[in-house]
Chain A
Amino acid sequence: MKYTHLILIGLLLFITGCNQSESNKNNAPDKIVIGISMLSMQNEFIVNISDEMQKKAEELGAELIIVDAERSPLKQIEQVESFIAQKVDVIILNPCEYEASSPAVTKALAANIPIVNVNSATKVQPTAFVGSNDVESGRIAMKFIAEKLGSKGNIVMIQGLNGQAAQIQREQGAKEIMAEFPGLNMFAQQTAEWDRAKSMDLMQNWIQSYGTKINAVFAHNDEMGLGAVKALQDAGMKDKVIVVSIDAITDALQAVKKGDLDATVFQDARKQGAGAIETAVKIARGQKFDREVLIPFKLLVKEDVDSYLK
């Protein structure tokens, strides 16, 4: 037992020692230190944003501390608290949730550390926001469906995790457009939790109940869009049903190229990541910056995808 205590004390000393050396490094003159808390490094799109941040930071000579909140708003708040304690110059937040991640913004502002939200919003206004308006992506996708169907037909919608900002806004955008086209009919809507396998199961079940009456599918992200495509292909129905989804991940671009997926809405991870770092560096250097940098979405069909496939 004596030894366990000794080991514990040793560990504690070691940890505090590490922290000190880290904060010393942060105090080095004129290198801007940016603390970044990302939603989830298990998501390809978020990993892409983070990769672009690193590239841009190297270019601008900023030092990044990137941590993964693993989709937990609580963890995210703790990470921001530790950034405040480390006295970073700017914090970049990729919020887990609209409401629950807001305290992180409040805390940073209270400690006089500027905070930039990237990709999605929080209820509390940060120093600056870099991202896209998700309502717009829903509108773009549904407009494409309306055009393809000649303004009338039956649609099913596969939703993201209910309650997340992206799900709420993409649904809102889609419904706005549907209201303009009374000939469009929402047959069914259900969550597949952003997951390809779950979306495939859901689509199979819908094919059982509605069969060939389904004319189009709108999926809130590409993973789910690809799951729906697979289910439709297995049922031999893909050529009769239009599928559109959002994000333009590599798999989806390939599927659009092959003609499996009809369109994907491109959300620019590169510009979002680079834009966030640019804004953060401007703020740290006391230069003029835009409080809101909106990166537009773009609809990609077969003819467009080649230049996006690396």
Chain B
Amino acid sequence: MHYIKNLRQYGIFIVFSIICLIISFISPQFLTVSNWTIIITQVSINALLAFGVTFVIITGGIDLSLGSIVAVAGVSAAMLAHPDSYPVLVPVFAGLLAGLLIGAFNGFIITKSKIAPFIVTLGTMTIGRGLALILSNGRPVSNLSEPFVFIGSGKIMNIPVLIVILVLMFILCSIILNKTILGRYIYAVGGNEQAARASGINVTQVKMAVYSISGLLAGLAGILLTSRITTGQPNAGAGFELDAIAAVVIGGTSTTGGKGTIAGTLIGVLLIGVINNSLDLLNVTSYYQQVVMGIIIIGAVVLDSLNQKSNS
């Protein structure tokens, strides 16, 4: 119970449940195991990006380079994942490393230059896209090995690997944020940076850490996407950062920093996924889909903020 009281996204969880309930009345296919397996696989990539950027947003920052990191990591991994070239760990490691390096670069520039994270990551977003195009010559990198493709479409004990990875990352990120010193420092830096510094927290290190985590998870997302669509696409991931940030905000993380949870972000990610899925199930045309999605994003956040006001 104590745990639930700490969930600031209590309101959003109710909104999410109500929406699911309504959809399940309209569309009989909605509440089936097979449909939910699909929804969760479809949101897994956005979920990893959203988990990563949750850390960044709690410190009061932002990361716009996520989509480009997905492309760089995906292309790098794909180039090393051709059959009979390297064991599958090599492309996976390369993708993660690419993500980590770009994330650490973000953190380094942001902490050393004091330039706003918005600007720095906007820059790396463009640099990353360019790198992905350079690496791949502007063409998709295909012909990937069986073990590499297994990551995106295989199953372990009848559960898709993507879902297994999603659950593991959810647990890992929740632990980092709730149970470690780093987690406490992240909230402290986002709540009040001056105070955090005064109390002896190494703010530079904390920021380096959050951008590196965000980059690393985006790298992982790039590997999963590449494996899922069996090709490394230099233009993959464009606009993914916005979906991820939307999910984080829907999930109750404050864009001014200091507040937010991984569980809330997961609800935000699922809400977006459920809406996309159900509008397709009901064959709503894409014009209306975009309008509906926008209304739900704003509506969810408004409801949540009303809920928080009445609580305090």
**Chain A residues near B (Cβ < 8 Å):** 41-44, 47, 162, 188, 190-191, 196-197, 200-202, 204-206, 208-209, 226-227, 230, 234, 249-251, 254
**By the criterion CB–CB under 8 Å, are A204 and B42 in contact?**
yes
Do residues B280 and A44 form an inter-chain contact, with CB atoms below 8 A?
A: no
Cβ-defined contact, B225 with A197, below 8 A: yes
Bound: A254/B140 CA distance, A: 13
Besides A200-B229, A209-B27, 4 other A-B contacts (C-beta < 8 A): A190-B286, A191-B286, A197-B229, A251-B142
* B142 and A205 within 8 A (CB): no
Bound-complex Cα distance A151 to B235 (A)? 38
Interface residues of B (CB under 8 A from A): 27, 29, 32, 34-35, 38, 42, 133, 137-140, 142-143, 153, 225, 228-231, 233-236, 276-277, 280-283, 285-287
A236 to chain B, nearest CB (A): 12
**A203 smallest CB distance to B (angstroms):** 9
Q: Name which residue of chain A comes closest to B289, CB basis.
A: A190
**Contact present for A206 and B138 (CB under 8 Å):** no
A191 cross-chain contacts in B, Cβ below 8 A: 286
Chain B: interface secondary structure? loop
Known: A201-B276, A208-B281, A254-B142. A230 touches B230 (CB 8 A): yes
Instruction: Name the B residues within 8 Å of A249 (CB-CB).
Output: 140
Specify the main secondary structure of chain A where it touches its partner.
helix
Contact A42 B138 (CB under 8 A): yes
User: Quick one: closest A residue to B132, CB to CB?
Assistant: A42
Are A208 and B29 CB-contacts (below 8 A) given A44-B139, A188-B283, A196-B229?
yes
Partner of A209, one of B234, B280, B286: B280
A residues near B27, Cβ cutoff 8 Å: 209
B residues less than 8 Å from A41 (CB atoms): 133, 138
Which chain B residue shows the least CB distance to A156? Answer: B283
Chain B residues closer than 8 Å to A43, beta-carbon distance? 138, 235
Can you list 30 A-B pairs, Cβ within 8 angstroms, ordered by A?
Answer: A41-B138, A42-B133, A42-B138, A42-B235, A44-B139, A47-B137, A162-B287, A190-B280, A190-B283, A191-B286, A196-B229, A201-B42, A201-B276, A201-B280, A202-B280, A204-B38, A208-B29, A208-B35, A208-B38, A208-B281, A209-B280, A209-B281, A209-B283, A226-B229, A226-B231, A230-B228, A249-B140, A250-B142, A254-B142, A254-B143
With A209-B283, A254-B142 as known contacts, state yes or no: A234 contacts B153, CB within 8 Å: yes
CB-nearest residue of chain A to B240? A197
